Amino acid sequence: MENEKYSKELNVAVRVVHMACFLCEKVQKQLFSTNSDQVKSKDDDSLVTVADWSVQATICWMLTEAFGSQNISIVAEEDVQTLIKPESSALLEMVLTSVNECLAEAPRFGLQGPDKALGPSQILEAISKCNSTGGPLGRHWVLDPVDGTLGFVRGDQYAIALAMIEYGQVKIGVLGCPNYSVKDDGLNKYSQQKNLVESDDVGCVMYTSKGSGKAWMQPLILCDKRFEWPNSAKLIRVSSIDDPALATFCEPVERSNSDHSFAAGVANTVGLRKKPLRVYSMVKYAAIARGEAEIYMKFARSGYKEKIWDHAAGVLLVQEAGGVVSDAGGRSLDFSKGIYLEGVDRGIIACSGLALHEKIIGAVYDSWESSNL
């Protein structure tokens, strides 16, 4: 079976994403308890934090150790331009500390860390190594170190997203969701004040492999525990609801790259009655995969281009859990064109089943005719 072919890759990916969740939880607590300068703005006005750089460096280092520096291609969101500036020395030191503290925990996750702490040049090299542009040939790891950085800094939902693409096809998808409760109704249970370390209501990592027809959810480990996988994982499945009036609809929080008004028109046309859940990050895909929501719609504003790291892991997770994902014209998403999802027709639609998906696609065409887009 195809999924057995990638058992080593999936094993490593699940473990390194767990490590990254451990890192992010620690950085997030520091972010709320100190006034240290851990958040920066990028040229496009989006945010980047110590966690973004630290996760990218950690996962890159671990993947390189597992699969060899000569045979690995990594596509990831962050670069080192801010970190190498002289005025960013304190920021780089925080990244250095976060990475080394995380790597020191590698044996607890069943992985081998470095023999000694990494230095600044090694950290910068690891981040810079994630400079692949992907494409149709070969194998590429695709990483969004902190998807939903605004959610992260606000103490809300965010995700660590890692996928493996081979010859343009997503083969492995892993989503770490530290603030997404493993318990039912997870989107509504998290609050910034909750101390996850002292509660059994922990976050989760969801994962799957192409062709398996299965998706799994694993609880995050508490700080004093050792990682046990896959013993504590459970199968997840999309919802069986196919009545639009009963369906739960997710959409992005940010208005800058998503047209909420058009989505509202589609929702009205198809007969969705519930108020949309506005959720940061790929946790929207996770909610569909585990049956907490039935529909995710995103209609990008003119000029915005979707990036593969924002969708690859989540798309495969929904598909293997029994759902359907396409662009708004009903076509499959193409992950073979580089860092962008080229040729996306109007937007992206993810649904728990084919019946709902067909209704949404039909409503998109109906709404498009009367819109001003």
| 197-214 per-position pLDDT tens digit | 445 578 999 999 999 999
Active site residue 37: no
CATH class in words for 244-370: alpha beta
| Burial class for 98, CB neighbours closer than 10 Å (0-12, 13-18, 19+) | buried
Q: Given this model, what pLDDT does residue 4 score?
A: 79
What is the token pair recorded at 33? 């308890």
- Predicted local distance difference test score (pLDDT) of residue 369: 66
Region 229-238 average pLDDT? 89
- Token pair for residue 221? 């480990």
Q: Is 144 annotated as a binding residue?
A: yes
Preceding peptide of 230 cis, ω within 30°: yes
Phi and psi based region of residue 325 (left: phi greater than 0; alpha: psi -120 to 50; beta: remaining)? beta
Q: 196 pLDDT exceeds 70?
A: no
| pTM assigned to the model | 0.93
Average pLDDT over residues 283-287: 97
Q: Is the pLDDT of residue 193 over 60?
A: no
CA neighbor of 22 nearest in space, from 156, 153, 230, 205: 205
**Strand boundaries in the chain, DSSP class E:** 39-41, 47-49, 74-76, 139-147, 159-166, 169-177, 204-209, 215-219, 234-236, 249-251, 277-278, 295-298, 324-327, 348-351
3-state SS assignment for residue 319: helix
Domain ranges of the chain: 2-236, 244-370
Q: 49, 58, 64, 149: which one is catalytic? A: 149
Do the beta carbons of residue 314 and residue 173 sit within 8 Å? yes
Is 147 labelled as part of a ligand binding site? yes
- Does the domain formed by 2-236 have CATH 3.30.540.10? yes
pLDDT band at 163 (very low <50, low <70, confident <90, very high): very high
What is the rounded radius of gyration, in angstroms, for the C-alpha atoms of the chain? 20
Mark whether 366 is an active-site residue. Answer: no
Distance CA 161, CA 180 (A): 14
Question: For 158-182, what is the mean pLDDT?
Answer: 97
Work out the pLDDT band at 373, boundaries 50, 70, 90.
very low
Distance CA 220, CA 218 (A): 6
Angle between the 89-103 and 7-33 helix axes, to the nearest 10 degrees?
Answer: 130
77 annotated as ligand-binding: yes
Q: What is the pLDDT of residue 191?
A: 43
- Give the mean model confidence (pLDDT) for residues 115-144: 96
**pLDDT at site 293:** 97
Give the DSSP letter string of 246-288.
Answer: G--EEE-S-STT--HHHHHHHHHHHT--SPPEE--TTHHHHHH
Q: Is 345 labelled as part of a ligand binding site?
A: no
Residue 194's pLDDT band (cuts 50, 70, 90): very low
**pLDDT tens, 289-323?**
999 999 999 998 888 899 999 999 999 999 999 99
